[in-house]
């Protein structure tokens, strides 16, 4: 009888390991397909980014490369009178963000967040009033032509860590973080 329970326990542990392995494999595969890696924003800078965005009631905020959605839900909780659109290309992270969206809507009753699975270069931004992104430098320069075409006059864009090579920021915010830490600066643009 005891050996039967030990066998069941072993089988259960093997199944858990298999699920974890397949989840990690799916995560790596989706990052490979989307040609991006997931490097989460440090929570310690969320408030600094929020201040740099200068959100108002009725703002429409796009977070390009929203990952699992931690930052977009931080914004939504702290400024519920704006609309938020998270755009993510990685399948795995898109589903993580969708699960967070379901939980957020159940907990708050708010429906001010939308999560979209899309390539950043193909996402329409015509109704954006604010844009936040934390993407690789080469992606920044790929996006500038999209922003010039899609963003209306007065749209505020904040980038973490990386700036455009062909557009000058209106402000650079030094976050006072050590050189060994990620995201030491924010670059603010106005289109």
Residue 32 has pLDDT above 70, yes or no: no
More confident position, 97 or 182: 97
- Kindly report which listed range (11-20, 103-112, 136-145) carries the lowest average pLDDT score: 11-20
My answer on whether 6 and 68 are in the same domain is: no
Domain extent for 150: 43-190
What average pLDDT does this structure show over 147-170?
Answer: 94
Q: What total of structural domains would you count in the chain?
A: 2
Assign residue 100 the CATH number of its domain: 3.40.50.150
My answer on whether 30 and 47 are in the same domain is: no
Percent of the chain with pLDDT over 90: 68
My answer on whether 71 and 151 are in the same domain is: yes
Q: How far is CA 45 from CA 93, 152, 166, in A?
A: 21, 27, 26
pLDDT given for residue 167 in this prediction: 94
More confident position, 9 or 186: 186
What average pLDDT does this structure show over 20-37?
Answer: 62
My answer on whether 115 and 55 are in the same domain is: yes
What average pLDDT does this structure show over 27-40?
Answer: 61
pLDDT given for residue 29 in this prediction: 61
The three-state (H, E, C) secondary structure of the chain, written as one string: CHHHHHHHHHHHHHHHHHHHHHHHHHHHHHHHHHCCCCCCCCHHHHHHHHHHHCCCCCCEEEEECCCCCHHHHHHHHHCCCCEEEEEECCHHHHHHHHHHHHHHHHHHCCCCEEEEECCHHHCCCCCCCEEEECCCHHHHHHHHHHHHHHCCCCCEEEEECCCCCCCCCCEEEECCCCCCCCCCEEEEEEC
pTM of the model: 0.82
What average pLDDT does this structure show over 54-82?
Answer: 96
């Amino acid at each position: 009888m005891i050996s039967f329970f030990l066998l069941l326990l072993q089988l259960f542990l093997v199944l858990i390991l298999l699920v974890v392995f397949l989840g990690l494999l799916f995560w790596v595969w989706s990052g490979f397909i989307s040609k991006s890696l997931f490097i989460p924003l440090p929570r310690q800078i969320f408030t600094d980014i929020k201040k740099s965005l200068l959100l108002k009631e009725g703002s429409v905020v796009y977070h390009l490369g929203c990952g699992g959605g931690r930052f977009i839900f931080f914004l939504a909780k702290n400024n519920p009178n704006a609309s938020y659109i998270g755009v993510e290309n990685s399948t795995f992270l898109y589903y993580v963000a969708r699960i967070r969206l379901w939980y957020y809507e159940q907990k708050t009753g708010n429906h001010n967040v939308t999560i979209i699975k899309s390539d950043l270069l193909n996402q329409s931004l015509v109704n954006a009033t604010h844009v936040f992104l934390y993407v690789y430098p080469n992606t920044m320069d790929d996006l500038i032509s999209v922003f010039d075409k899609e963003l209306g006059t007065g749209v505020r864009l904040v980038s973490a860590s990386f700036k455009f090579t062909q557009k000058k920021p209106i402000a650079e915010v030094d976050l006072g973080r050590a050189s060994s830490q990620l995201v030491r600066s924010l670059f603010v643009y106005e289109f």
